[in-house]
Amino acid sequence: MSAVTLQDIVKRFGSFTAVHRTTLEIPEGAFVTLLGPSGCGKTTNLRMIAGLLDPSEGEILIGGKRVNDVPIHKRNLGLVFQNYALFPHKTVAENVAFGLKYRDVPKSEIPAKVQAALELVQLPNVGDRYPKELSGGQQQRIALARAIVIEPDVLLLDEPLSALDANLREDMRVELKRIQERIGVTTVFVTHDQSEALAMSDLIVVMSEGRVEQVGKPEEVYNTPASEFVANFLGASNITEAKCIEHGASVVVEDATFGRVTVPAAKAPNLTGQGPAKLVVRAEKLLLSKTQASEGVISVPATVETVDYQGQAVRYFVRAGEAQLQAINMIDERPFAAGDAVHLHLRPQDCAALPG
């Protein structure tokens, strides 16, 4: 059963259409991420699920029941926002207990529920403190405790990690996923950060300009992008103009840089026949070497133009014929330097293809 269903949802603000006919099924118990750049409609969809915005057209169902006309306080949803929205004049315990007071929970049961929520977010001893006395990461956990203490049907998270510094952000995404898996609550998470989406999600919904570009598991969306937008937004890709010259049991595309490449049919699902195409090569699948490749691996001579040192890895910008390509390689010994002559190694099975 779907926990949340969006049926042909449209949202207009005056003459501007922010969401174009979104249809989406969010499975029970899943962690689903709405991913895309600013202005793509992901937060607008989240706010319509929450009841903070009304759709212009279409229906929203939660637990199979239409909720278009149901106010936010009757939808039994947990909400965590980017700025946490904690009450500064209330203690942590009072913040966490806030939602329980409006759900007819007996007063005698509230302290135990609050304590259980604080223990779940691993902050059992801060109930008598105030938000200003906590770090950003601790405040984020308290906001999460407040959202889950009411035992919501759906947990809605609007970029809750974006205010944290990089290291804490990585720690918190692991912690957030741990908590979600432990309590099993259906979660809709909004972010523009591809790493968060890939690391945390059961399903990713990639959005662009108010439209859903692709829905799938992280590995499906990453390895088999449905559009050039998805290929570019998720990770770093080299996309070259090509031509599909065989389309059957195998798919063969040809471009000016790599020549003929036999792409797995599963990685070219939208190619319907011979004709214009695009070859998609992920940057980390393009390996630099001083030697030519072995049989079965495509090898192309190139020259390193720019070296972007990143610690454990290096992003290289290389010139192969007329094409400038990027490659992200782990560092084994010394990185290549600008001006080095190299060979680019590419396995055909690592490529994907799109319609031209």
Give the dihedral sign, CA 281/312/136/96: positive
Cβ atoms 356, 241 nearer than 8 A = yes
Q: Verify that 27 and 64 share a domain, yes or no.
A: yes
Q: Verify that 40 and 137 share a domain, yes or no.
A: yes
Residue 327 sits in a domain of what CATH number? 2.40.50.140
Q: Verify that 273 and 167 share a domain, yes or no.
A: no
Residue 219 domain-assigned? Answer: yes
Distance, in Å, from the CA atom of 283 to the CA atom of 273, rounded to the nearest integer, reads: 26
Q: Verify that 270 and 169 share a domain, yes or no.
A: no
Q: Tell me which of 330 and 167 has the higher pLDDT.
A: 330
Q: Verify that 214 and 317 share a domain, yes or no.
A: no
Residue 99 sits in a domain of what CATH number? 3.40.50.300
Residues facing 158 on adjacent strands: 190
Interhelix angle for 110-120 vs 136-148, to 10°? 130
Q: Verify that 108 and 202 share a domain, yes or no.
A: yes
Q: How many residues belong to the chain?
A: 356
Distance, C-alpha 305 to centroid of its chain: 31
Q: Verify that 265 and 175 share a domain, yes or no.
A: no
Amino acid at 169: R
Q: Verify that 175 and 107 share a domain, yes or no.
A: yes
Q: Verify that 263 and 324 share a domain, yes or no.
A: yes
Q: Mean pLDDT for the chain?
A: 93
80-97 exposure pattern, b = at least 16 Cβ within 10 A, e = fewer: bebebebeeeebbbbbbb
Distance, C-alpha 138 to centroid of its chain: 23
The total number of structural domains that make up the chain: 2
Distance, in Å, from the CA atom of 310 to the CA atom of 331, rounded to the nearest integer, reads: 10
Q: What is the pLDDT of residue 142?
A: 94
Distance, in Å, from the CA atom of 79 to the CA atom of 158, rounded to the nearest integer, reads: 8
Q: What is the pLDDT of residue 215?
A: 97
Q: Verify that 201 and 262 share a domain, yes or no.
A: no
**Mind listing the pLDDT tens digit for each residue in 228-253?**
999 999 989 999 999 999 998 789 99
pTM: 0.92
**Of 49, 15, 79, 69, whose CA–CA distance to 205 is shortest?**
49
Q: What is the pLDDT of residue 101?
A: 84
**Mind listing the pLDDT tens digit for each residue in 80-100?**
988 878 999 999 999 999 989
